[in-house]
Amino acid sequence: MTVDLSEGELQRFFPLLVAKLIQWADAHGYQLTFGEAWRTPQQAAWDVAHGTGILHSLHIERLAIDFNLFKDGIWQTDAEAFRPLADFWKTLHPLCRWGGDFKTVDGDHFSLEFQGRA
């Protein structure tokens, strides 16, 4: 879907969506802590060199965030544990993407699609 919002507009809209996700998670018995949000281009390059990321990450654009998920105080590391949050996230806006849907699964990743990148 094409949505004509500038990068800056998306960057200002993204935290509002993230806030809704955090509130939804809390209301449904999940606890979240922040993982990575903003990433420098240098960090992205390092990640690529070490096989742990992509060069044109939406974290650089401030349009992605990773969460640590807890349920009943237990850290959830399986991508499927994030599915309820992902299902809600994807209802918030047509550009909302979840890393669990990626070819290389990244279950803790929530983003807004920008320039064809998720």
Domain ranges of the chain: 7-112
- For 52, phi then psi, to 5°, come to -120, 15
pLDDT given at position 3: 60
pLDDT given at position 1: 47
pLDDT score of 113 more than 50? yes
Q: Give residue-wise pLDDT tens across range 54-105.
A: 999 999 999 999 999 999 999 999 999 999 999 999 999 999 999 999 999 9
Report the pLDDT averaged over residues 50-57.
Answer: 92
Q: How far apart are CA 113 and CA 96, in angstroms?
A: 6
Fold of 7-112: Muramoyl-pentapeptide Carboxypeptidase; domain 2 (3.30.1380)
pLDDT score of 6 more than 70? yes
> Which residues, 6 or more positions from 21, have their beta carbon under 8 angstroms from its beta carbon?
85, 88, 89, 92, 110
What is the Cα 74 distance to its own chain's centre? 20
Q: Give residue-wise pLDDT tens across range 10-33.
A: 999 999 999 999 999 999 999 999
